[in-house]
Structure 1
């Protein structure tokens, strides 16, 4: 890919490696890019998508300098244009960057932006949702003025939402520094409470063939929606498979170009059992068919869709899902930031995201 001549850099001052922004932008200039403008993601709050405006100004490339939340926010501005995104992994986890092979070393990431190739990938769309995150002080957030937003990594309710609130709290970041994520995990587990949900799967993918217990081949997609009720610890709508930063835990079987979302439902359980099962789930290398058990007696349609054999954790694929929390409106994270509340409709976006990846 020829080196783009003009680029803008959008950054997050709260990112874990934001102190290296100047080093990174200088590296881009040295590599031959003209940095037209550098500004924080907060400058885009309340603005409509800016991608086409940037194109009209002659911009060739948008560089997201931060973590997963920043990538999700920038995506909402560029998917309606043909602008590609370069990634400088200045966040703490950088799960999207790890998924597409962006090096964590800043000079090497700069080299990818300068000489890599454009790759298109599926993204999810959440309706309704906000482009900018809520702050912890916000109460009863509403989505009335925000018809939709996009997510590149994952949309979640449950445990991960509490983790995200703690992990992005400025006081916790100041107190714990590099240990903020570990402290946030501990706080989220201490405050764990299950959620009663109704999940409505749209275009559920059924795997009719398997080899050695593993689903194979292209799935059959159901025309009719399937609705279930469950008490859950977490629901994650996964678009890119890497989690937990440097640990690179991976959801097996996720494809960036299959026009399906991977949905992981973790049922309520005792805390020690939850932790053990989650570690087992992320420790697998392949999707696995489940054996019939109590959950499938209640929801027999899901057995052919199941991609894990761990009781109490369910992994299915679908074109979309609607999440209702039965007791109250529940916060939802998009790419690790609280940007909406239930009820939430998530589905594969018609648009696709172009990212510069290693050649």
Structure 2
């Protein structure tokens, strides 16, 4: 069952990698598949995405179809989480890691077909203080990579832009020390020195298809925390070989913990990358809100199920 009988709003971030070229085609495809698109908005300024979605919700739209990259979805998730509004996902960005996690097709036509014929599930939402996120928040090398990713590079190379940007980022990386404490008491405090990267994952994928861990999922009501020491290049190459599968967390030098909440402090202020956008600086706190967001996925997707009662 899908909410396609409801009047829908289509909101597309035209600044995302494929957003500008996909807007009109997405509207045509959705209508052609029976989705009642009552209003459609090409948003040129990403800062107005949240406002646009808020206004659509205020007008009573129960299905909001959003097109853009991972940062687009994170920017509007707080408007939809905990409501009876359903999110339809059109992956139009560079990494499209939310789509990968949800087992969504990356092609526009197939993604529109999913909105029209898929099933509604509810997924977890990660929170960094008052900021919601869907995939991963991270410190260290990933921030350097995000800062090196220009819009031109992302448009030209797509997901390949990430490893290309990682080479110069690795060379200029500055190690950091971190203290982890766990408010729920499920782990003892941990101090880690001289790190290359630390990540807190709500979803499964980040960075264009790298897995947070073998166990990570967006419907498991847990955060996956991993930390990679600074170390030597050979050690990092050995770890990086298993990024795609998430098996790198089993490396003896990598710390991996699963928790519902973690507080994080560093020896000096360190920037935090949230779903591809650098938006915060340590210290920060993370929690997870289980089953907080309704989203449409393909009928065959096993990424999540619907646990909440229909409202």
- With the shorter chain as reference, the TM-score category is 0.7 to 0.9
Listed one character per residue, the Cα deviations across residues 155-204 of structure 1 (whole Å, up to 9, x for unaligned) are 1011111111112x345457x55453333122212222211222223336
C-alpha change, 1:46 and 1:8, in structure 2 (3 Å) is closer
Measured in 2, the distance between the counterparts of 1:58 and 1:354 equals 16
Measured in 2, the distance between the counterparts of 1:69 and 1:60 equals 22
1:235 aligns with 2:175: no
1:353 aligns with 2:293: yes
Match of 2:214 in 1: 252
Q: Residues 41 and 73 of structure 1 are in contact (CA less than 8 Å); yes or no, is this contact kept in structure 2? A: no
Match of 1:202 in 2: 183
1:190 aligns with 2:171: yes
1:265 aligns with 2:266: no
Measured in 2, the distance between the counterparts of 1:259 and 1:49 equals 29
Shift of 1:321: 1.3
Match of 1:309 in 2: 250
TM-score under structure 2 normalisation?
0.85
Measured in 2, the distance between the counterparts of 1:107 and 1:172 equals 25
Match of 1:78 among 50, 70, 80: 80
Q: Residues 82 and 293 of structure 2 are in contact (CA less than 8 Å); yes or no, is this contact kept in structure 1? A: no
For structure 1, the 5+ residue unaligned runs are 128-147, 205-220, 288-307
Counterparts of 1:1-20 in structure 2, within 5 Å, are 1-2=1-2, 3-18=4-19, 19-20=21-22
Secondary structure at 1:193's aligned position in 2?
A: coil
Shift of 1:348: 0.9
Counterparts of 1:175-186 in structure 2, within 5 Å, are 177-178=157-158, 180-186=161-167
Q: Residues 63 and 87 of structure 1 are in contact (CA less than 8 Å); yes or no, is this contact kept in structure 2? A: yes
Q: Cα RMSD between the aligned structures? A: 2.6
Q: Which runs of 4+ in 1 moved over 6 A?
A: 46-49
Measured in 2, the distance between the counterparts of 1:230 and 1:353 equals 36
Secondary structure at 2:177's aligned position in 1?
A: strand
Q: Residues 126 and 345 of structure 1 are in contact (CA less than 8 Å); yes or no, is this contact kept in structure 2? A: yes
TM-score under structure 1 normalisation?
0.74
Match of 2:263 among 322, 327, 351: 322
Secondary structure at 1:20's aligned position in 2?
A: helix
Match of 2:111 among 103, 109, 112: 109
Measured in 2, the distance between the counterparts of 1:171 and 1:107 equals 25
C-alpha change, 1:41 and 1:115, in structure 2 (3 Å) is farther
1:66 aligns with 2:48: no
Structure showing greater radius of gyration is: 1
Measured in 2, the distance between the counterparts of 1:42 and 1:323 equals 32
Measured in 1, the distance between the counterparts of 2:253 and 2:213 equals 16
For structure 2, the 5+ residue unaligned runs are 300-311
Counterparts of 1:53-202 in structure 2, within 5 Å, are 53-127=55-129, 148-167=130-149, 169-170=150-151, 172-173=153-154, 177-178=157-158, 180-202=161-183
Q: Residues 10 and 41 of structure 1 are in contact (CA less than 8 Å); yes or no, is this contact kept in structure 2? A: no
C-alpha change, 1:153 and 1:32, in structure 2 (3 Å) is same
Shift of 1:87: 0.6
Q: Residues 123 and 293 of structure 2 are in contact (CA less than 8 Å); yes or no, is this contact kept in structure 1? A: yes
Listed one character per residue, the Cα deviations across residues 228-270 of structure 1 (whole Å, up to 9, x for unaligned) are 232211111011112343x554620113333210101111211
